[in-house]
Structure 1
Amino acid sequence: MKYIIAIIGLIIVLGLAFIASNNKKQIKYKPVLLMIVIQIALSALLLNTKFGYYLIKGFADVFSKLLTYAGSGIDFVFGGIANKGESPFFLEVLLPIVFISVLIGIFQYLRILPFIMKWLGFILSKVNGMGKLESYNAVASAMVGQSEVFITVKKQLGHLPPNRLYTLCASAMSTVSMSIVGAYMTMIQPKYVVTALVINLFGGFIISSIINPYTVKKEEDLVEILEDERQSFFEMLGEYILDGFKVAIIVGAMLLGFVALMAAINDVFNMIFGISFQQILGYIFSPFAFIMGVPWSEAVRAGGIMATKLVTNEFVAMMDLTQISSKFDPRTLGIISVFLVSFANFSSIGIIAGAVKALHEKKGNVVAKFGLKLLYGATLVSVLSAIIVSLVL
């Protein structure tokens, strides 16, 4: 039965992307089908094999060690703020972002990350039928973040037509950055974080290939990557430390505002209608949860988590999920977890448009115009990834 529901789900997701396509005649179906097969194979490899188990365990162990190192710095600066045995969210989940940001900066400085991004992008371009720049950008988004990635393609922004710009922005919204992966792993199982990271790369190309199909000519494929002005090592360290701290503070502020607002709205709806706002959203999103493979008995509750992610962000949704995880079947928990690992929410529209506008004002205005279509496509990517995982769980 799960295979039938998954096939129906795939048809619905691809159909919704097809309806929104701006050039249905130019859709390349062969790369789309190939990437779906790759997604299924990678999901099965990561979740159902010993090799996948050890790979994810190794990945999780590395981040666990990094969080331990980060904890040393946090204890030195903030030790004594929390009572013994307590784990404040800001200290335990958000502040480690600072240390991981530093490591990303070091790998950038040593030219290790640019090398990885360039060649992984090159390999991806052979599979997805798109330009090398789009492929590089997708890998870079997962490495450095949805706003920072545009700095690496600053030289190309002014030369890109709207259709290619859409694909770059869609990749940025469909993935998550390595700097906050450790934070996710404190709330949901690492195996689902890693799996989502990998298959979202392909999912972004699948949906973009349908919604926004085009062909890049060889002479139009601008692949020169921006080299930042060379800083000293310690200048770079200072910059990435501050950047990581800014991310932690911004995420913390957004959580504070969104969680408080959601509590207030839920309370108002409970008083007026006798049902919370999240429950209403749960009913609206329950059909999508069902086609993702969630049993109907759990679909409303799962739909509420999905909707929370869309209207607030993935952190708020993950916090909600941890509170009610015992009410879900393990398979359902896996499906929802994969859905949550992306930046597909309303606030990301502003973040991405703002990042592009800061580098090229005219292109930033273009991005703002197709913001809702970006969110539509990125949400379909999350649903697609969840459906793919439902096939192997």
Structure 2
Amino acid sequence: MQYLISIIGLIVVLGLALLASNNRKNIKYKPIAVMVVIQLILSYVLLNTKFGLVLIKGIAGVFEKLLEYAGEGIGFVFGGIANEGTMPFFINVLLPIVFISVLIGIFQYFKILPFIMKGIGLLLSKINGMGKLESYNAVASAMVGQSEVFITVKKQLGQLPPHRLYTLCASAMSTVSMSIVGAYMTMIEPKYVVTAIVINLFGGFIITSIINPYTVDDREDILEIQEEEKQSFFEMLGEYILDGFKVAIIVGAMLIGFVSLMAAINNVFDLAFGITFQEILGYLFAPFAFIMGVPLAEVVQAGGIMATKLVTNEFVAMMDLAKVAPEMSPRTLGIISVFLVSFANFSSIGIIAGAVKGLNEKQGNAVARFGLKLLYGATLVSVLSAIIVSFVL
């Protein structure tokens, strides 16, 4: 029965993408089918095989070690600020982003990261039937972040037509940057974080291939990566340290605002209607939770967490998930965890539009105009990834 529900869910998600398509005649179904099969294979390997277990343990071990190193610096600055046996969320989860950001900067400085991103991007373009630029951008988004990725392609940015710009932005919203992967792993199981990152990459191509299909002429598909202005090694370190700290502060500020606002709205709704706002959202999103393979008894609770992620951000939703995790079945926990690992939320529209506008005002305005369609597609990517995982859990 669960496989039947997952198949229906897959058909529904692809159908919802088809409804929003701007050129149904141009959709290439063969690469889409191939990528769905790749998603299923990768999910099975990562979650159900010894090789996958070893691989994920290895990746989790690396991030665990990196968080230990980050803890040395954090302990030096903030040691003694927490009570015995406790650690504030900001210190334990967000501040390690600073150290991860430094490592990304070092790999960028020595040209290791651009080489990897370009190589994987070129390989993916053979599978997805899309342009080299789009494939590179998807990989780069997952490594350097949804704002920073546009700097690497700023030479092409002003020349891109709206349909190609949409694909680049959709990739940035559907993935998560490596700088905060460690933070996610402290909140949900690492195996779901790794699996989501991998299959979201293909999910982004699948959904955009349906919503926004087009063919790229080889003459228009020149992949010219913009290198950052030459800096000394220590200038680069200083810049990435500050960038990482800004990300931690911004996420912390957003959490304070969103968690406080959600608590206030919930209280108002509870007093007025005898039901919280999140519970109402849970009922609205319950059908999506059901087609994702969540057992019927848990769909309302799961739907509430999904909705929280959409209207606030993934950190708030992960915190809510952690509170109810002991009450949830392992299957539901896995499906919802995968759904949460992406930047698909309303605030991302402003972040991406602002990043593009800072480089090219005209293109930034174009991104703002199709912002809701961008969020629609990115949310379908998250739902698709959750459904794919439901087949193997």
- d(CA) in 2 for partners of 1:387 and 1:166? 24
1:210 counterpart letter in structure 2:
I
1:40-60 alpha-carbon deviations (Å, 9 max, x no partner) = 000001000000000000000
The amino acid across from 2:106 in the alignment is: I
- Whichever residue aligns with residue 338 of structure 1, its letter is V
Unpaired runs of at least 5, structure 1: none
Match of 1:158, as an amino acid? G
For residues 150 and 319 of structure 1, the distance between their equivalents in structure 2, rounded to whole angstroms, comes to 30
Distance 1:59 1:141 in 2: 19
Name the amino acid aligned to 2:335: I
CA deviation map 1:126-159 (0-9, x unaligned):
0000000000000000000000000000000011
Q: Tell me, in whole angstroms, the C-alpha distance in 2 between the residues paired with 1:48 and 1:158.
A: 45
SS at 2:350 equivalent: helix
Structure 1 Cα separation of the partners of residues 332 and 130 of structure 2: 34
Partner of 1:367: 367
Q: Distance in 2 between matches of 1:272 and 1:229?
A: 56
Question: 1:258 & 1:224 partners in 2: Cα distance?
Answer: 39
Letter matched to residue 126 of structure 1: K
Match of 1:238 in 2: 238
* Correspondence for 2:346: 346
Q: Show CA shifts across 1:241-279 (max 9, x none).
A: 000000000000000000000000000000000000000
Structure 1 distance, partners of 2:222, 2:213, is: 18
Other-structure match for 2:118: 118
Q: Which secondary structure state, in structure 2, belongs to the residue aligned with residue 262 of structure 1?
A: helix
Distance 2:279 2:85 in 1: 33
Look up the equivalent residue of 1:44 and give its one-letter code: Y
- Is 1:87 aligned with 2:87? yes
Give distance in 2, aligned partners of 1:230 and 1:377: 37
1: CA distance between counterparts of 2:74 and 2:3?
Answer: 47
What RMSD over aligned residues (CA atoms) do the two structures have, in Å? Answer: 0.4
Distance 1:187 1:330 in 2: 15
- Tell me which amino acid in the other structure corresponds to 2:99: F
Cα separation, 2, equivalents of 1:90 and 1:84: 16
CA distance in 2 between counterparts of 1:199 and 1:380 reads 13
Partner of 1:386: 386
Q: Which residue of 2 aligns with 1:78?
A: 78
- Partner residue in 2 for 1:168: 168
In structure 2, C-alpha distance between the alignment counterparts of 1:3 and 1:113, rounded to whole Å = 39
The secondary structure found in structure 1 opposite 2:310 is helix
Q: CA deviation at 1:102?
A: 0.2
Q: Distance in 2 between matches of 1:365 and 1:283?
A: 35
- Cα drift, residue 222 of structure 1: 2.3
Letter in 2 for 1:292: M
User: Given the alignment of the two structures, is residue 13 of structure 1 paired with residue 13 of structure 2, yes or no?
Assistant: yes
Which residue of structure 2 lines up, in the alignment, with residue 227 of structure 1?
227
Which consecutive aligned stretches of 4+ in structure 1 deviate over 3 angstroms post-superposition?
none
Q: Distance in 1 between matches of 2:280 and 2:222?
A: 46
Q: Secondary structure at the match of 2:224?
A: coil
Match runs of 1:1-393 below 5 Å = 1-393=1-393
Cα offset for 1:84? 1.3
For 1:15, the aligned partner's letter is G
In 2, Cα distance between equivalents of 1:292 and 1:124? 26
Q: Aligned letter for 1:274?
A: G
Q: Name the SS for the 2:355 alignment partner.
A: helix
- Distance in 2, matches of 1:325 and 1:263, equals 20
What whole-Å deviation, never above 9, does each CA across 1:8-47 have from its counterpart, x for those lacking one? 0000000000000000100000000000000000000100
SS at match of 2:147: coil
SS at match of 1:130: coil
Distance (whole Å) between structure 2 residues aligned to residue 294 and residue 210 of structure 1:
25
Give the counterpart letter for 2:95 in structure 1. L
Query: Scaled by the length of structure 1, what TM-score is found?
Result: 1.00
Distance 1:172 1:229 in 2: 23
Unmatched runs of 5 consecutive residues or more in structure 2: none
Find the aligned partners of 2:298 and 2:98 in 1 and give their Cα distance: 37
> What is the rounded CA distance, in whole Å, between the counterparts of 1:230 and 1:40 in structure 2?
42
Cα distance in 2 between the residues matched to 1:80 and 1:228: 39
CA shift at 1:228, angstroms? 1.3
Counterparts of 1:243 and 1:360, CA distance in 2 = 21
CA distance in 2, matches of 1:153, 1:79: 41
Distance in 1 (CA, whole Å) between partners of 2:248 and 2:90 is 8
The one-letter amino acid of 1:254's match is: M
Q: Please report how far the alpha carbon of residue 227 of structure 1 lies from its aligned counterpart in structure 2 after TM superposition.
A: 1.2
1:142-189 deviations in Å (ceiling 9; x for gaps): 000000000000000011000000000000000000000000000000
**Quick one: percent identity of the two aligned structures?**
80
Whole-Å separation in 2 of the counterparts to 1:248 and 1:228:
23
